[in-house]
Amino acid sequence: MKFHSCNAHGEEIALDDQWGPEKVVFVTDPKIRLSGTLVIDNTALGPGKGGIRLQPDVTADEVFRLARAMTWKNAISDLPFGGAKAGIISREDIDKGILIRGFARAIKRLVPEEYIAGPDMGTNEEDMAIFADEIGMSKASTGKPLRMGGLPHELGSTGFGVAESVVITSKFAGVSLTNASIAIEGFGNVGTFTAKFLNEKGAKIVAVSDSKGTIYNENGLDIEKLLKTKKELGAVTKYEAGKVLPTTALFELPINILIPGARPDVIHDGNVDRIKAKIIVEAGNIPMRENIEKQLSQRGVLIVPDFVANAGGVISSYVEFTGGTEQEMFHLIKEKICKNTEIVLKTAEKEAITTREAALIIAKERVKKAMKSR
């Protein structure tokens, strides 16, 4: 199937290639003002696995790029899943449960043989419960509440994996985790748990941002206090012991380790030259385009690609899908994330290529082999 999108200049871009997408489904329901997209990118390794993103500005291009990232993420994590992603435009005046149910009804025939849902930005365990309920089967989604036998992302699976990747990367770079200064973009599920688990390892987190702004203290933030402030007051900028800066200022701070963990393309042509971090671990999906990654790599910045660092969520999904326990989930995440991070860093150094190129070599070979056998 041919899939085309338009860039910011209105120019049409062909997004299909030898890997996919296999199916692109545009969902609309005027009665509930539902507008969504499902991209099933590649199912050579198994049914397409990827979360449902619920945001007011989510685009088909974004969903495709996320679906492709899931193809590589599942492959490099050696999971029996293909790549897929869904996006629903959120409406302030419409309950998101209504939108989730409408979307589930529209794609029911594809679930779970071709698509298995999961939480993403704007969706959570209760939304996955709604999705599974509407489809009429438990295996329609992962990240469901514990009461449904799920392993919700609220356990912190993605953030846990990111923290483990940071540990491996800092050792590889010869950087002391306890002395390094760390900044985390985004303080939702991924960002909060990344901060929590790094804090438990003795790391010094000096800056955190959310949609309201950035809080910065070069001497380090009290993460427990910050978590409490965010929960009670709704913004990291309400934390008193620090300097309040614009959200975008976080990327330009004088830090050692930068962890982008929320929106796509937050590092771009407009700020790439002002990035001071020497290590970037991509907790969020597609935080920058490949040409930006190459620019930073050429400057000596060590980058762990998104589909390597943030695979904890989909590894957790696999454990849930197969009926595993919380303990088994955390064990498998640590094992796979640490192994993959180390392999990618060593391969990139040995072959004198970027870390993304190194990771893609591994992922593409697995997908190519599955496509040939199929």
* Architecture of domain 4-66+83-150 in this structure: 3-Layer(aba) Sandwich (3.40)
**pLDDT > 70 fraction of the chain, expressed in percent and rounded:** 96
- Rounded Cα distance, 131 and 205, in Å: 36
Give domain 157-366's CATH superfamily.
NAD(P)-binding Rossmann-like Domain (3.40.50.720)
- Rounded Cα distance, 85 and 89, in Å: 14
Give the model's confidence band at 154: pLDDT under 50 very low, under 70 low, under 90 confident, else very high: confident
Indicate left, alpha or beta for 332 from its phi (over 0: left) and psi (-120 to 50: alpha).
alpha
Q: Looking at 23, 49, 85, 204, which residue is catalytic?
A: 85
85 catalytic residue (yes or no)? yes
Pairing of strands 302-304, 279-281: parallel
Residue 15's pLDDT is what? 55
Structure tokens at 288: 């920058």
Q: Judge whether 59 and 47 are in contact, CB under 8 Å.
A: no
Residues of the chain with CATH 3.40.50.10860: 4-66+83-150
What average pLDDT score do residues 97-123 get? Answer: 97
pLDDT at residue 161 tops 90: yes
- For the entire predicted model, the pTM comes to 0.91
Instruction: Please write the tens of the pLDDT for every residue from 211-264.
Output: 999 999 999 999 999 999 999 999 999 999 999 999 999 999 999 999 999 999
Instruction: Please write the tens of the pLDDT for every residue from 276-316.
Output: 999 999 999 999 999 999 999 999 999 999 999 999 999 99
What average pLDDT score do residues 113-133 get? Answer: 97
Residue 374's pLDDT is what? 78
Residues of the chain with CATH 3.40.50.720: 157-366
Residue 3's pLDDT is what? 43
